Chain A
Amino acid sequence: EVHLAESGGGLVQPGGSLRLSCAASGFTFNSYWMHWVRQAPGKGLVWVSFVNSDGTITRYADSVKGRFTISRDNANNTLYLQMNNLRPEDTGIYYCTRAVVVTDFDSWGQGALVTVSS
């Protein structure tokens, strides 16, 4: 069974940093593109970032470009999101999700809550 488990969320002050992790199991991790999607409280889904199967290609939403870095460790089946210079508008639940074909997100983690507030 496919399982994705995020960790690393929490409360951080504006300008601070956090690193999210997503532990994957139940599938061949290095065969899939992986994404981060976030959801602000009471709001809709917003795509954040993508990394291809071997980690050589990454893309970011304009709102996080230059501040967030996505990476993966295929030896340990783990996806990461390094978030720097955090802003209040980055507050939300961050989901790790697997893509079958580009945007076919067939498996989602339970999410990690990130709160940016002073």
Chain B
Amino acid sequence: GIQVEQSPPDLILQEGANSTLRCNFSDSVNNLQWFHQNPWGQLINLFYIPSGTKQNGRLSATTVATERYSLLYISSSQTTDSGVYFCAVPSAGTASKLTFGTGTRLQVTL
């Protein structure tokens, strides 16, 4: 099945700093989602981005499908950005079965 790897695995930032999270996937995909999992376990949709670039406030994401990677940018980080960030892609043959990456755990400090 498809493999999804994320880097870095852990990241500590001071409030106000910028960061880039990376998601690599082993096969071509027609769908990619980024999620933020808050400390209570809730997975919050950030982006649906099969290709191209999208922005939502301080967050933006870029997917280069031909090179099998996606990037999530967080600018001017805030303590509320802390948590785990996952990318997820559908597995071949099943429209909605998502394979999640290994996650990036982000801690934003004052």
A binds B: no
Interface residues of A (CB under 8 A from B): none
Interface residues of B (CB under 8 A from A): none
